[in-house]
Amino acid sequence: MTKIITIAQNSAQPLTVSRLGYGTMRLTGPEIWGEPANRTEALQILRTAVESGVNFLDTADYYGEDVTNRLIREALHPYPADLVICTKVGATRRPDKSWVPFNRPENLRTSIDNNLRTLQQEQIQLVHLRVLGHGQVSLEEQLGAMFEMQREGKILHVGLSNVTREELEAGLKLGEIATVENMYGYGQRTTMQLPYGANPGGEEVLDLCEEHGMPLIPFFSLLNSLPKTSTRITEMARKHNASEAQINLAWLLHKSPWILPIPGTSSLAHLRENLKAVDICLSPDDMEYLG
């Protein structure tokens, strides 16, 4: 199992990162809104992750709102030279905590400028366009705005999030797509309906990612992905003296060298547990048994 992965490998400025990143969403308050319950621990989680070799962080200005970006800046700025901070645009939050599209070209520009300001960066290394609100603004128009900001130097690489296979195929025809961020985990592989809409699964696009050398970045890889009825992952956890969450992450790491998991947590103890998943070696027989 490889422990590093390269983003935009064929570009003039590829990014090489460790294959276990950290997703910051869980650092916010309840319902991904407001400040963390324990701000000191949240900051320590970010510092510990980076000190432990994590150099890929996933965030969004609509987490909180702006909460995770501000925590990242407070904990880590000035940033280590090898740290890649990935953010998302295309959505925003209302006061009732609902998730709504924010994907017109002028909205996307506002979001990018806000991310640059709150993260205190001159350029964002990787930005995922989250596809939300199908049909209101065309994918071509949204990606056109992203590529324009890329040419301006505000964005280094452009990725897509929450995309169907058809949307990814369409996006690849419009320009260089560096990464895909979809829901994916051992027990949640295909489209899942959530309160704010459908979340396409990673299994539906994994072969395209492999074909084009695009890392697949699974979100909610633990939250919705541990099966409630299957005993196989429990048995595998017992065999490797590991937790079920660790086996879930190890399964992702062994499933394809193009998968870059970003498990999130608001617990320092859970972070340390998750990081140990890279040391679990699942044999071909283990993987066949897990399915």
Report pLDDT for 39: 97
Domain ranges of the chain: 7-227+259-265
Report pLDDT for 194: 61
| Residues 35-56: tens digit of each pLDDT | 999 999 999 999 999 999 999 9
Q: What is the 3-state secondary structure (H, E, C) of 205-251?
A: CHHHHHHHCCCEEEECCCCCCCCCCCCHHHHHHHHCCCCHHHHHHHH
Give the whole-angstrom CA distance, residue 56 versus residue 84: 5
Residue 275: closest CA among 54, 58, 100: 54
The domain made up of 7-227+259-265 is a member of CATH 1.10.150.20: no
Report pLDDT for 225: 53
pTM: 0.95
Per the CB < 8 A criterion, the answer to whether 88 and 127 are in contact is: yes
Whether a cis peptide bond, with omega within 30° of 0, leads into 288 is: no
Write b or e for each residue in 6-41: b if 16 or more Cβ atoms lie within 10 A of its Cβ, otherwise e. Answer: ebbeeeeeebebbbbbbbbbbbbeeebbeebeeeeb
Residues of the chain with pLDDT under 70: 133-135, 191-197, 223-230
Beta strands 216-219; 180-183: pairing state: parallel
Per the CB < 8 A criterion, the answer to whether 26 and 274 are in contact is: no
Asked about 79 being catalytic, the answer comes back as no
Give residue for tokens 């970003």. 262
Supply the DSSP symbol for 185: B
Report pLDDT for 15: 98
Active-site residue, selected from the candidate residues 22, 63, 184, 186: 63
- In this structure, what token pair is assigned to residue 61? 């200005």
First to last CA, the chain: 17
